[in-house]
Structure 1
Amino acid sequence: MSQPKQPTLDEVVRAGRTFEQRMRSAQASLDRALVTGRSTDGTVVVLANGLGQLKAVQVSPTVFDGRDVAALQNAITESIRAAAANAAVLAREKMGPVEINLH
């Protein structure tokens, strides 16, 4: 049985550069992508990019009718978590497993 051929240093460096370029391209794509997160009741929508950077929060005017601060806080939290989960799914599709933190 013959042993598999070991890659040369040039081949390893070339593969590393190719991988780095793929990751940079995926990162740029994620930076341009938009994901949404929605509260369970639909009163709050959060927009973030694919890297998990928060871009906007949209609140339905109906949320102010009830003046329920706790419900609004919960809706915002749900929306941010949903956006982060959606960003993580998109990032995994583009780059493989990664951790997304909204900041």
Structure 2
Amino acid sequence: MKTFVTFILIALTSSQVFAADACKRKVAKAAVQQAQLDREESEIQPPELHLLSSEFQGNRLISVYEADLLHCTPGDLDACGSLTYEVVTAETNSTCQVLRIYMTGEE
């Protein structure tokens, strides 16, 4: 019985980690897509993600991520700037949905 309970706990933890990783991939993709819209002529670097907050609202986990990324002039990596976005997600079971994304900073 103890082995069975341990297996269930490991399976639940693994599925939560997988869902969190899938959500982070969606956040990164959404940030890059928004940066490409905001800076059409720039090369966009992959973002660095920071989880700012998470809280349950009913059966959904609402999370706010900060995505920091660089945008550079093509062919000139010395001509770079940074963009910061906040991305709000909702997770239910094993699905993740991006609710909002907005720019919070630019250099």
TM-score range, shorter chain: 0.3 to 0.5
TM-score (norm 2): 0.35
Q: Answer 1 or 2: which has greater helix percent.
A: 1
Bigger strand share: 2
TM-score by length of 1: 0.36
Higher relative contact order (CA 8 A, sep 6+): 1
